[in-house]
Amino acid sequence: MREKIWNQVKVGDEYSFEMKDVNRSSFVRYAGAGGDFNPIHHDQTFAEKAGLPTVFGMGMYTAGVLGRVPSEWFGPTSIRRYSIKFTSRIWADDTVLCHGRVTKVYEEGGVRHADLELKATNDKQEDLIRAEATVRDWQP
C-alpha cells in the first residue's frame, strides 16, 4: 500500500472524512487521556457562568481529530511536521469535516515528501482549525 500511495501522489490530491459522533463524552474521554480537566470542557454550570451556552472541546482534541487525515492517508509513522492554528471551538453535536490537500511533492535526501494543507470545519461551514503537515515515505 505504501508504494501505491507514493507512486501516485500528486499536487491537488485530496483526502477527507466526516465525524458525526462528537459529544460531551468525547471531551471527557480526551480529558482523561490528555489530562486537561478544565471544567469549561465538561461542567455545564461552569461554562454558563463563563458566558458560554455549553461546554466545548479542547483545541488539542480538534487537532487530534484533524491529525487523522495525514495519519490515515500516509500512515502514522510518515508524519514529520504538523503545524496548527486554532480558529474556532468544537461543540458537542457538531459534525466535523476534516480535509487535506497535497500542495507540494518533492524529494529530499533521496526520500519522497509531500506537504499538506489541512482544515477541519463544522456543519455550519465554520473553520475550527487550519493546519499544515509534511509527510514522508517511511521504511518499515
Q: Are 68 and 125 in contact (CB under 8 A)?
A: no
- Cell 477541519 appears where? 120
Delimit the domains of the chain by residue range: 2-23+57-136
Query: Does the 2-23+57-136 domain belong in CATH 3.40.50.20?
Result: no
Whether the CB-CB separation of 138 and 2 falls below 8 Å is answered with yes
d(CA 17, CA 82): 18
> Tens of pLDDT along 58-111?
999 999 999 999 999 999 999 999 999 999 999 999 999 999 999 999 999 999
pTM listed for this prediction? 0.90
User: Per residue in 113-135, pLDDT tens?
Assistant: 999 999 999 999 999 999 999 99
